[in-house]
Amino acid sequence: MQKWLAIVGIGEDGLPGLSSVARSLIDCAEVLVGGDRHLAMIPTDDRPRLVWKSPIGDSIAQLRNQGQLVCVLASGDPMWYGIGVTLTRQIPLAEITIIPAPSTFSLACSRLGWSLSEVETLSLCGRPPALLQAYIYAGAKLLILSEGKHTPAIVAEILTQRGFGNSQMTVMERLAGIHERHLTDIAANWTQTDIADLNAIAVECVADGITLPRIPGLSDSAYYHDGQLTKREVRAVTLSALAPAPGELLWDVGAGCGSISIEWMRSHPRCRAIAIEKSRTHYIADNATALGTPQLQIVSGTAPAALKDLPQPDAIFIGGGATAEGMFDTCWTALRSGGRLVVNVVTIEGEQKLYTWHQRVGGTLTRIAIQRALAVGSFLGWKAMAPITQWTVVKPKNLLNSGSLLKPNLSVEEKL
């Protein structure tokens, strides 16, 4: 199959910085595609030039209909937060040639003397700035692709509000170009406004306060809530049972303030979650922003009706609504084979439901009892939290999808 599409990374140094292979792909192309800045680097000729438009899907469709050799110009490495990732998801790789240039991250590390393997990298181009919250920790070295000249001030504000105001920020403009410039100051003192739109930010994180851990079980005080919160100890046990893996999707049913889905997403940048909640969605939105998971999808409604047409989950947590009619059948049918279902209840009626479900498909029933030492007059005494009954089950890979078709009172081995 002919490779009709070339994706060529180009830096601020323009054509002189390209290899002979990259130059030949540009020279042989019948159509050039890119942003205004990239296309301006190529001498004017009679070839058609397409500028990316929004939505980008329309531009990609136009690109595919050309029937000619096409060259897409991209910034730096097209496969690192670049257009190459988008194009390879829609066009077979057998039809594409990709020639990268040094990425912004590589150039930044060469200026700072940082090891690229030891830094955290993220892009805020077209993404919520609150994503940064999940990357901040004491001693971290961050490299951030800016959306524009205002991004450094936003980053400085987030760092300062999190108690990282003494972190050193270096803004690098137009890396590898003749107008390259660096600006440095600590986040709390950041006042620079005369900044080029094309910039990257390096941050050396210095903590003035408490660093939020990345393992499950954030302090209860990390959340905005009205009391409907899965407590820290129970949350850690629950996330362990849910066992998040990169790229997996969680349904958090009866999400409360969203703590389970938020910590699921915090476990890895590619973890996804949908929080289904009927009355506390404002708490979920606030917590997701504050804790670095602004891409958490929130569905306002009552399960199981609100679960209709949602994408298939790899794991489901039911923290509220376990006694609702049809809840188990709906969740069990939707769950992918090999997926995990975890349910927490505190009432006798909820326990009765779990026992019935356990009889149908097996799994593990666990009682979680937590006591905390609290003041009793001038002394300390143990105060018990409401015990939690937890049911955990893995959906067998060769089991029929419909939970209603399962025969009761069979062991897991018999069902398999």
Tell whether 334 is covered by a domain.
Answer: yes
Looking at the structure, tell me whether residues 289 and 374 fall in a common domain.
Answer: yes
Look up residue 54 and give its DSSP letter.
S
Domain with 394 in it: what CATH number? 3.40.50.150
Looking at the structure, tell me whether residues 154 and 241 fall in a common domain.
Answer: no
- Residue 123 token pair: 């892009």
Q: What is the pLDDT of residue 399?
A: 52
Measured from the Cβ of residue 375, the count of other Cβ atoms closer than 10 Å reads 9
Q: What is the pLDDT of residue 363?
A: 97
Looking at the structure, tell me whether residues 179 and 199 fall in a common domain.
Answer: yes
Q: Which residues of 40-68 are buried (b: 16+ CB within 10 A; e: fewer)?
A: ebbeeeeeeebebeeeeeebbeebeeeee
Domain with 24 in it: what CATH number? 3.40.1010.10
Tell whether 209 is covered by a domain.
Answer: no
Provide the 3-class DSSP secondary structure of residue 393. Answer: strand
99 phi/psi in degrees, rounded to 5: -120, 105
Q: What is the pLDDT of residue 227?
A: 85
Task: Please report, in tens digits, the pLDDT of each residue of the chain (416 residues total).
Answer: 589 999 999 999 999 999 999 999 999 999 999 999 999 999 999 999 999 998 888 899 888 887 899 999 999 999 999 999 999 999 999 999 999 999 999 999 999 999 999 999 999 999 999 999 999 999 999 999 999 999 999 999 999 999 999 999 999 999 999 999 999 999 999 999 999 999 999 999 999 877 888 889 999 999 999 988 999 999 999 999 999 999 999 999 999 999 999 999 999 999 999 999 999 999 999 999 999 999 999 999 999 999 999 999 999 999 999 999 999 999 999 999 999 999 999 999 999 999 999 999 999 999 999 999 999 999 999 999 999 999 999 999 865 444 444 444 443 333 33
Look up residue 179 and give its DSSP letter.
T
Pairing assessment for the beta strands 249-253 and 315-318 based on DSSP bridges: parallel
Q: What is the pLDDT of residue 402?
A: 42
383 CB contacts (<8 Å, ≥6 apart)? Answer: 371, 372, 373, 374
Tell whether 211 is covered by a domain.
Answer: no
What domain count does the chain have? 3
Pairing assessment for the beta strands 297-300 and 315-318 based on DSSP bridges: unpaired
Domain with 176 in it: what CATH number? 3.30.950.10
Looking at the structure, tell me whether residues 90 and 111 fall in a common domain.
Answer: no
Looking at the structure, tell me whether residues 284 and 399 fall in a common domain.
Answer: yes
Q: What is the pLDDT of residue 147?
A: 96
246 upstream amide cis, omega within 30 of 0: no
Looking at the structure, tell me whether residues 56 and 152 fall in a common domain.
Answer: no
Spatial separation of the C-alpha atoms in residues 359 and 377, rounded to whole Å:
46
Looking at the structure, tell me whether residues 161 and 14 fall in a common domain.
Answer: no
Pairing assessment for the beta strands 5-10 and 70-75 based on DSSP bridges: parallel
Provide the 3-class DSSP secondary structure of residue 186. Answer: strand
Distance, CA of 37 to chain centre: 29
**CA distances, 45 to each of 29, 32, 38, 324 (Å):** 12, 11, 15, 67
Is-contact 31 48, C-beta < 8 A? yes
204, 230, 253: which is the final residue of a domain? Answer: 204
Tell whether 382 is covered by a domain.
Answer: yes
Domain that holds residue 13: 5-101
Amino acid at 169: M
Looking at the structure, tell me whether residues 270 and 311 fall in a common domain.
Answer: yes
Whole-model pTM? 0.89
Q: Which residues partner with 231 through β-bridges? A: none
Looking at the structure, tell me whether residues 189 and 236 fall in a common domain.
Answer: no
